[in-house]
Amino acid sequence: MSAERETSAAVPGAAPTVFLAIELSQASWIVAVHSPATARASLHRLPAGDAKALLALAERARTAAVEATGEAAAVASCYEAGYDGFWLHRVLVAAGIASLVVDPASLKVDRRARRAKTGLCGRP
């Protein structure tokens, strides 16, 4: 079993899994897809709010994973809760995609890197 194949499953010994990481904004969605069918993750830009395009992308990735591995493949997604809330989660789950919605406050952020330094020190 190759190292690439070993890292493609969500749980060791489980079915191959296609992973979707979704960055949501009001203008567009950026989806990173990691599939057992390819060695590298790919980025895809979709119109904001276009759940049909997201589901079509997930299905294409799942089909490619099935063809590459010869096994049934699962699809799992994650995104940060925000503007699009939980309607997207319900759409993904209804389509058979495991969905994880992350609370933005739970992400560890380097406090010093959060804001750009302006040098104004709060003065106009």
Helix H, strand E, coil C: the string for 30-98 is: EEEEECCCCCCCEEEEEECCCHHHHHHHHHHHHHHHHHHHCCCCEEEEEEECCCCCCHHHHHHHHCCCE
Q: What is the pLDDT of residue 3?
A: 40
| Residue 103 Cα to chain centre, angstroms | 15
Q: What is the pLDDT of residue 9?
A: 39
Q: What is the pLDDT of residue 111?
A: 64
Which parts of the chain sit beneath pLDDT 70?
1-13, 105-124
Separation between Cα atoms, residue 63 and residue 74, nearest integer Å: 10
Q: What is the pLDDT of residue 94?
A: 96
Looking at the structure, give the CATH architecture of the domain made up of residues 3-105: 2-Layer Sandwich (3.30)
Q: Domain map of the chain by residue range?
A: 3-105
Q: What is the pLDDT of residue 72?
A: 92
Q: Strands of 17-24's sheet, edge to edge?
A: 42-47, 28-34, 17-24, 74-80, 98-102
pTM: 0.74
Q: What is the pLDDT of residue 74?
A: 93
Average predicted confidence (pLDDT) for the chain: 81
Q: What is the pLDDT of residue 52?
A: 97
Q: What is the pLDDT of residue 39?
A: 85
